[in-house]
Amino acid sequence: MGLAPRVPDNAGKKTAANSRRGDLRELGPYRILRLIAVGGMSEVYLAYDPKHRRQVAIKVLAEHLAPNMTFLNRFLREGKLSQELSHPSIVDGADYGRDTASGKYFIVMEFVDGPTAQDRLEKQGRFPVAEATRVILDIARALDYLHGEHFIHRDIKPGNILLAPDGSARLADLGVAKHLENSSSLTTLDQGVGTPYYMPWEQSLNACLVDPRSDIFALGATFYHLLTGHVPFPGDDENEIAQKKNRGVYVPATERRRSLPPFIDNILDRMLARDPRKRFSTAQEVVEVMTASGLADGRPVDDSDLHILEPQPLAPTRADLKSHVEVDTPLAPEQETVWLVKYQRDDGGWRQVRGRTRELIMLFEEGALPDEAIAARETSKVFRRLKAYPEFRLVERKVVKRENPLRRPRGSAISGFARGILGSLVLTSSVILLLGISVAAIMRLLACQP
């Protein structure tokens, strides 16, 4: 439910976990074949459905949670939703209820004969780019359907994505899905709903503060993980992770994997924006951009050909309003990232400066750093445009940039001559005024000269 069950390495061996299969040979009409996964809230078994003559997966609620009405209602609600919501990229539900013989609560689902995306990451590392993109496309289509039905999944992560043998991906675990029109459902445990590494900042404050863009953030964090093998916002505890999300700063995917096309950073920046209004507005937009990118076909387009959709204005939501409450605690100076910045001087040479994030922001705002400046984190020494980094992308000038008086604008010989004449006239006018002679009279004299 909260955490996807993981397939034990010794699932086929005689273990204490498998010995429980001896006590559980049937659930209703379904014949138990073997235990395939164990989680803190449930166990998953492979079973046989004699009525439809097929294998199915059966999730069984952990015995110690059955007396807890909150967990029990959530489990039964998942079973109900799995039957009501049907999409090719969502795991199908077939049945749910309570077995009268054992007293166990269970959900019957289609059996997807493949690992979770989390299993793949742990065993094989990061995904090939084309495969990662196809997985995200499938899940984005599933989210587009769920959001159209007014549900928010609230727990998108690699552990809740099943990889089928045909290469398709299925979204699993609707246990914490929230209906947008029902603000009272499952509020008791809403504060802890979701997985810290993937859920957005507003959800970490209160899981009721979600809308479709919250799932898009989690999908972006999942995409980042599949591409790089790392989560975008690592941390030792939930508080540290939440603080990093609140600042909205993470290592660009192209720095962790240099072969990625640069526009992937643009897509991820949109999906992982701290402010929900800066994210893609709908899952369909994600599908359109991913499809247009050519990544799923292994033929990425030139980034100049890829149009990243601009955020569509929406009515402010609770997530929007909460996202603008200033609760961030500034980093101590010694904790801030140190940058190397280079830019070209007026004489054609290059100047390099070193500074921390807030110092460079101030220099840019005041016009001391040009738009063409390039920067690198001191630890990486890989230079990119300053505005390509999330830390500086939204920084604006506070004052109009002053023109360097020592730097002459480029222009034609005629414009240079005209500037010289204008300067001479200004100087001559000043002298004439001192002598008490009218400027107009002198101009008439100049006009009569051959």
| Catalytic positions | 155
Q: Name the one residue in this structure whose structure tokens are 């002298």.
A: 431
The answer to whether 137 and 228 are in contact (CB under 8 A) is no
Task: Answer whether 157's CB lies under 8 Å from 171's CB.
Answer: no
Exposed / middle / buried, residue 412 (Cβ in 10 Å: 0-12, 13-18, 19+): exposed
Distance CA 416, CA 363 (A): 32
Q: Give the DSSP letter string of 203-251.
A: HHH-TTS--HHHHHHHHHHHHHHHHHSS-SS--SSHHHHHHHHHHT---
Nearest to 204 by CA among 229, 235, 175: 235
For the chain, give the number of residues. 450
Structure tokens belonging to residue 53: 């003559």
* Per-position DSSP letters for 342-392, written without gaps between them: EEE-TTS-EEEEEEEHHHHHHHHHTT-S-TT-EEEETTT---EEGGGSTTT
Count other C-beta atoms under 10 Å from residue 355's C-beta: 19
Kind and range of the H or E run holding 256: helix 253-256
301: how many CB neighbours lie within 10 A of its CB? 13
Structure tokens at 300: 């990425």
